[in-house]
């Protein structure tokens, strides 16, 4: 009996979190102007929002029925595919030049290399 009450509140909380993320994602999708900034809102809904709704479904099925692991497989599929599809959409926008290209990074010979800056060579020798 107590587990059903705790499960009911856990399902309600997960549904509220999922619905909140879905609402924020829908508002972000309508509010942002650029396709690159517009891309951010639905990816969060696809991972956190839908994941929370599926978690609510899992909790409900385990508390009130036999339970099912189908939702876990759906969550795993969404968590793997959503970032990949967002990356592909972003690359298409960059290649179409439909968005501003980011500025070039400053010239730096030591980033991601084994070169040691002159100021740090004395410290490394000691």
CA distance 54 to 50: 6
Stronger pLDDT, 118 or 124, i.e. the higher one? 118
Stronger pLDDT, 74 or 102, i.e. the higher one? 74
Residue 9, domain extent: 2-125
Model confidence band, residue 35 (pLDDT cutoffs 50, 70, 90):
confident
Reply yes or no on whether the pLDDT at 10 is more than 90: yes
Q: What is the mean pLDDT of residues 110-120?
A: 68
Question: What confidence score (pLDDT) does residue 104 get?
Answer: 72
Q: Which residues of 79-93 are buried (b: 16+ CB within 10 A; e: fewer)?
A: eeebeeebeebbeeb
Number of domains the chain is built from: 1
Which of 41-50, 73-82, 90-99 shows the highest mean pLDDT? 73-82
Torsion sign (Cα): 27, 78, 74, 57: negative
Give pTM, 2 decimals: 0.68
């Amino acid at each position: 009996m107590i587990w059903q009450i705790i499960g009911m509140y856990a399902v309600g909380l997960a549904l509220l979190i999922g619905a909140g993320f879905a609402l924020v994602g829908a508002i972000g999708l309508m509010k942002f102007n650029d396709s690159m900034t517009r891309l951010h809102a639905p990816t969060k809904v696809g991972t956190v929002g839908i994941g929370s709704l599926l978690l609510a479904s899992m909790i409900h099925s385990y508390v009130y029925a036999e339970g099912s692991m189908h939702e876990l497989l759906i969550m795993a599929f969404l968590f793997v595919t959503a970032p990949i599809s967002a990356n592909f959409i972003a690359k298409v926008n960059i290649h179409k030049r439909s968005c501003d290209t980011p500025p070039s990074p400053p010239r730096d010979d030591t980033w991601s290399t084994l070169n040691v800056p002159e100021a740090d060579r004395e410290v490394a020798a000691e």
